[in-house]
Structure 1
Amino acid sequence: MSLTCIVQDLLLNEEPNLEFPTNYYEESPKVIRIFAKLTYKLTVCHQCHHRSVIKYGFKTVHLRFTPINDKPTILYLRKQRFMCHHCNHTWLARTSLADFRCQISNRLKRSFINPLSTDRNLNEIA
């Protein structure tokens, strides 16, 4: 199985609403870039609870993801924007890959926290 298939399966297991373009994986000498689109159907406004929600374009966000082959990985995620015709409230699609308004993925946060949570004696630290 190629590296691109592994990355795609890994992301789809965490977020099933992702769509990948044909050339979604780009590797340079310094960084790996992954391109994806997040969209889903939404019928009710979060603000006023009316059923007058439309899709209102996309916004690209950059998420730091876990390193692949010791290279930093950036996920360029095109999030669907929604708008309510009744109250003119707009918002972005939410994902489980990262917390709200956060540019660091939850997987990368866990990779930092797991080594810190193990017990170490002074000989290992020094």
Structure 2
Amino acid sequence: MNMDKNDSFDGLLQEGRHTTLRSFSWGNREFTISSDKISLYVGGIPYDTKPMLDILRGSGVDPGKLSPARWISLLRGQPTRLPGCEKPFMLFKAPSGYTLRCLEITRGRNRAFQTEM
């Protein structure tokens, strides 16, 4: 499937096109989006994405509207601004799997602190 990395996932759903994205190009991670679920595999081990999706939705972000480029940025652990939320998010490895954290920019300094949502 040819897809621009800046296309939103919901656009594909509205057009009735095939909606599975596989094998983003980094290390041993595979991120799959289909019309009924989102899956993350690291080294062949599946991780539950529901808590991550709940954090996004709770912050006003619609995961279905994120472009593949934004998903890749998030999954690479880069601070990423998402439509629907003014603060950037980062993905972190936690003892129970993966979690998203919102970054707060402090005024007057070039620093950020993290809050887990």
Q: Is this a same-fold pair by TM over 0.5?
A: no
Larger Rg: 1
Q: Quick one: higher RCO (CA 8 Å, sep 6+), 1 or 2? A: 1
TM-score by length of 2: 0.29
TM-score by length of 1: 0.28
Greater strand fraction, Structure 1 or Structure 2: 1
